[in-house]
Each structure stands twice: as C-alpha cells, then as structure tokens.
Amino acid sequence: MKNIVLIGFMGTGKTSVGRLLAARLGCAFHDLDKKIEEAHGMTIPEMFVRHGEPYFRAREKEAVAAAAARGNLVVATGGGVVKDAENMRALRKNGIIVALTADIDTILARTAARGQRPVLDRADEGDRRAAVAALMEERRLLYAGADVTVDTTGRAPLEIAEHIMQTIRIWRK
C-alpha cells in the first residue's frame, strides 16, 4: 500500500496526527526528524548549531529517500522537506501527500517552546509572528501541491486522523 505522507508547517500536528493515523491504519509511523536524530546521535537543534542547516538538509534528503523506498508507512516530515523538489518527487512516487495547515496564532502557540525549532528560534520574540508569516508565505505554494489539505486549527488530533482516513480511503487501494 502507498505511504501517507504528512507535510506542513511546523506546529500543524504532523507528529501527533501521524502517530494516531498509523495506529488506526495498522501501519508503521515514521517521523523523519526522529529518524535523523537517531541515525546521527544528536538533536536537530544540535545539528543546526554544530554543522548548519545545509548539513541537516542533506541528512533530511537521505531520510526521505529511505522512507520513500518503503511502503505502508505514515510519514511525518519536517516542515522544510517541501523546499526540495527532489524530496517531494521521491515521497509522491509511493505516497499520498497530505498537507496539514493551521493559522498563525495556532502555530505560534504550538511552537512557543524555545530550543526545539531552530528556524524560528533565530527570531526575537517580537519578530516570531513575522518569521512564521514569512515562512508560511514562502512555502504556501509548495504545500498547495498536496493531494489533500486539512486545516488543523482548533481540531483535536484524533478528529484530524479520522478525517484523513476517510478522505484518503480511495487512494489506499
């Protein structure tokens, strides 16, 4: 069966929804960021500090290729996976792409903890909203290429997982 690939901006619920979706579908959950951290023995924020974003993006590309080569997975991607067209081609080849979205206030609330989001942690507190808005706009068209889009604003992860299951049923055959 095809993979279900969750894309979307950080804080849209890819990991929490992905875990529930995989459990409901009886398939494996594959969190790309966690796989990268496990394979390289450091957190993503540590990778950014020690080696920079290009190093992380190269590791991300390797993890995408490994996940795309498998089947019957629910894959939660990092928010920036969509910036690389090769990543998206690989994921689409054996996957249904589901974009999770949320409004800016929801994303700010869900990503408020410092030290976990290197791309946002560079912004001062007052600039955080502007940083989120700019990144969301930069990636908007990339997320728009998904097979399915689901707004997670004000919705529980289980409700979102159920909605995705109903929506993608026809593609899973």
Is residue 57 annotated as involved in ligand binding? Answer: yes
Is residue 127 annotated as involved in ligand binding? Answer: no
Is residue 117 annotated as involved in ligand binding? Answer: yes
Is residue 41 annotated as involved in ligand binding? Answer: no
Is residue 33 annotated as involved in ligand binding? Answer: yes
Is residue 128 annotated as involved in ligand binding? Answer: no
Q: Which two tokens stand for residue 88?
A: 């998206």
- Cα-Cα end-to-end distance for the chain: 7
Is residue 26 annotated as involved in ligand binding? Answer: no
Is residue 169 annotated as involved in ligand binding? Answer: no
Is residue 145 annotated as involved in ligand binding? Answer: no
Is residue 122 annotated as involved in ligand binding? Answer: no
Q: How far apart are CA 162 and CA 173, in angstroms?
A: 17
Is residue 147 annotated as involved in ligand binding? Answer: no
Binding residues for ATP: 11-16, 117, 155
Binding residues: 11-16, 33, 57, 79, 117, 139, 155
Binding residues for Mg(2+): 15
Binding residues for substrate: 33, 57, 79, 139
